[in-house]
């Protein structure tokens, strides 16, 4: 009787608690699927590796720094040219993004491996990666 009660309590506990994160996950998943996906990820990746800033100086900075991660699917970085991913970032405001680039953010190293970049360069590089003007 005691064991059965514990088991019931445990079951009740499990059913009470576990579904919450499950439902939250499911909701996120459904929301993610419901969002109109203009371009699939494979296409975004294939495109990201082909993109280069038109300005030669900016292209040089980009090739030697940002590109190392921002065209790599597993890096966790928003892909170059992935407008949807960048729009989420741009919503924070450009000054915040420049600070992130300079100070670093999680997997994003401080300065983004660019020792020559100025604050203006970061802004231009971010605009380029966000797909503005492409
Ligand atoms: C070593 C890999 C790496 C390099 C090199 C790199 N990034 Fe990133 N970057 C990341 C990752 C990972 C993220 C996602 C960080 C997160 O949101 O957790 C990121 C995110 C960002 C963000 C979004 C920050 C925010 O606040 O949401 C900006 C802006 C950015 N990178 C700019 C740059 C620029 C500009 C360069 C080149 C000068 C660069 N990155 C180089 C890995 C890198």
Binned average pLDDT, 10 residues per bin, the chain of 134 residues: 48 46 44 58 94 97 98 96 96 98 97 97 98 75
CA-nearest residue, atom 27 of ligand 1:
89
Residues 19 and 80 in one domain: no
Any domain includes 134: no
The CATH number covering residue 63 comes to 1.10.760.10
What's the total number of domains in the chain?
2
Residues 49 and 27 in one domain: no
- pLDDT in the model for residue 53: 97
- pLDDT in the model for residue 103: 98
Residues 57 and 96 in one domain: yes
Ligand 1, pocket-test mutation among 112, 118, 119, most atoms within 8 A of CB: 112
CA distances from 126 to 19, 45, 60, 78 (A): 40, 17, 14, 10
- pLDDT in the model for residue 15: 46
Residues 51 and 115 in one domain: yes
Q: Which residues line ligand 1 (CB under 6 A)?
A: 65-66, 68-70, 75-78, 89, 92, 96-97, 100-101, 105-109, 112-114, 117, 122, 125-126
- Alpha carbon 4 to its chain centroid, in Å, reads 48
Any domain includes 72: yes
Residues 47 and 99 in one domain: yes
- pLDDT in the model for residue 102: 98
CA-nearest residue, atom 20 of ligand 1:
77
Residues 62 and 124 in one domain: yes
Residues 54 and 27 in one domain: no
Domain that holds residue 72: 41-129
């Amino acid at each position: 009787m005691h064991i059965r009660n514990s088991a019931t309590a445990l079951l009740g506990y499990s059913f009470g608690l576990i579904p919450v994160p499950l439902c939250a996950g499911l909701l996120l998943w459904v929301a993610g699927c419901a969002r109109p996906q203009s371009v699939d990820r494979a296409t975004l990746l294939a495109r990201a590796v082909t993109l280069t800033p038109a300005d030669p100086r900016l292209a040089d900075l980009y090739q030697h720094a940002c590109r190392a991660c921002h065209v790599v699917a597993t890096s966790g970085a928003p892909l170059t040219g992935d407008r949807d991913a960048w729009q989420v970032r741009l919503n924070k405001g450009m000054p915040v993004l420049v600070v992130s680039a300079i100070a670093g953010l999680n997997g994003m190293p401080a300065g983004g491996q660019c020792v020559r970049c100025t604050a203006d360069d970061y802004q231009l590089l971010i605009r380029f990666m966000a797909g503005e003007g492409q």
